[in-house]
Amino acid sequence: MTKKFRVLLMACVSLLLSVTLIAVGSYALFTDDITIKNHLRAGKLNITLKRTYLETNYLTANGYLDNNGSDEIVDFTDKTDRNIFDITNADECLIVPGCYYEATMELSNNSNVAFGYWIEIVLTDENPYELAKQLKVEVTTYNEENEEVVYSKYVNEGLLVGNETKPIGIVPVSSDSQTFKIKMTFVDDQIAEDEIEDNNKVMGQDVNFDIVVNAVQVTEA
């Protein structure tokens, strides 16, 4: 998984202002030099991104689908080769119609700058494979009333949830963390409500896509 944080105001700036005051008297010219030192320190945008829960319905070694869950907390703040679904090897982590992976992610603000965030799902293959047309990705966020808001598309279409000017969530300083979920499902064409290609056409194919979490400083306005 690729993570991208847009970070503003990371530099420290020192300013030195020299002010000369001249007073004119009746009989003599008096001068004095006054130096005012100003040190300005910029705020820092510091974000933590963790996976708090992973639910899977995957193909086991005996050839059956098995539902499982893990509450292992995994930190994705720093660069890592681990992806949020724990798919480590495409040859071993095979998917079939009905498979799904759902990761619950937590964003925390550990800084003195409020930030807004948005999420992108980006197909990274040069040519969208047929398999990408059968993988549905869902992003679930929560509104102010803590109600679920679900955005979904197929991987080949890409998905943009929010943007820089209209983030899907704002995390103030020293506030509770915000949670969102990302789910990827290999849609079974026997039960899918929307039109989908024949599942058999994609046997043996693979596909790559990135999940990008963007963050940017926001103002109260």
Share of the chain above pLDDT 90, in %: 14
- Regarding whether 98 and 200 lie in a shared domain, the answer is yes
Residue 90's pLDDT is 63
Number of domains in the chain: 2
- Regarding whether 129 and 70 lie in a shared domain, the answer is yes
Residue 150's pLDDT is 92
Residue 54's pLDDT is 93
- Regarding whether 93 and 25 lie in a shared domain, the answer is no
- Regarding whether 123 and 18 lie in a shared domain, the answer is no
Cα(first)–Cα(last) distance of the chain, in Å? Answer: 32
Q: Which of these, 133, 136, 116, 132, lies nearest to 182 by C-alpha position?
A: 136
- Residue 61 resides in a domain: yes
> pLDDT band at residue 102, thresholds of 50, 70 and 90?
very high
Q: Among 4-13, 110-119, 132-141, 188-197, whose mean pLDDT is lowest?
A: 4-13
Given a contact cutoff of 8 angstroms between Cβ atoms, the answer to whether 159 and 140 are in contact is no
Please give the distance of CA 142 from its chain centroid, rounded to a whole number: 15
Kind of pairing, strands 209-217 and 148-154?
unpaired
- Residue 2 resides in a domain: no
Share of the chain above pLDDT 70, in %: 73
- Regarding whether 206 and 113 lie in a shared domain, the answer is yes
Given a contact cutoff of 8 angstroms between Cβ atoms, the answer to whether 149 and 143 are in contact is yes
Q: How far is CA 145 from CA 106, 140, 149, 184, in A?
A: 18, 14, 11, 25
| DSSP three-state, residue 98 | coil
- Regarding whether 134 and 189 lie in a shared domain, the answer is yes
- Regarding whether 123 and 96 lie in a shared domain, the answer is yes
Average pLDDT, the chain: 76
pLDDT in tens, 136-175: 999 999 888 888 899 999 888 888 888 888 888 888 887 6
- Regarding whether 134 and 85 lie in a shared domain, the answer is yes
- Regarding whether 74 and 20 lie in a shared domain, the answer is no
What CATH number corresponds to the domain at position 206? 2.60.120
The region that residue 140 occupies, defined by phi over 0 for left and psi between -120 and 50 for alpha, beta otherwise, is beta
Residue 119 pLDDT greater than 60, yes or no: yes
Domain assignment of residue 109, given as a range:
47-217
Residue 24 pLDDT greater than 60, yes or no: no
- Residue 67 resides in a domain: yes
- Regarding whether 18 and 105 lie in a shared domain, the answer is no
- Regarding whether 114 and 31 lie in a shared domain, the answer is no
- Regarding whether 122 and 60 lie in a shared domain, the answer is yes
Please state, in angstroms and rounded to a whole number, the distance separating the CA atoms of residues 40 and 197. Answer: 59
Phi and psi for 201 in degrees, rounded to 5? -70, -15
Residue 7's pLDDT is 37
Given a contact cutoff of 8 angstroms between Cβ atoms, the answer to whether 197 and 133 are in contact is yes
Tokens describing residue 176: 């509770």
pLDDT in tens, 188-208: 888 777 777 788 888 888 888
Provide the 8-state DSSP code for 108.
E
Given a contact cutoff of 8 angstroms between Cβ atoms, the answer to whether 214 and 6 are in contact is yes
Q: Which of these, 80, 39, 42, lies nearest to 217 by C-alpha position?
A: 42
pTM: 0.75
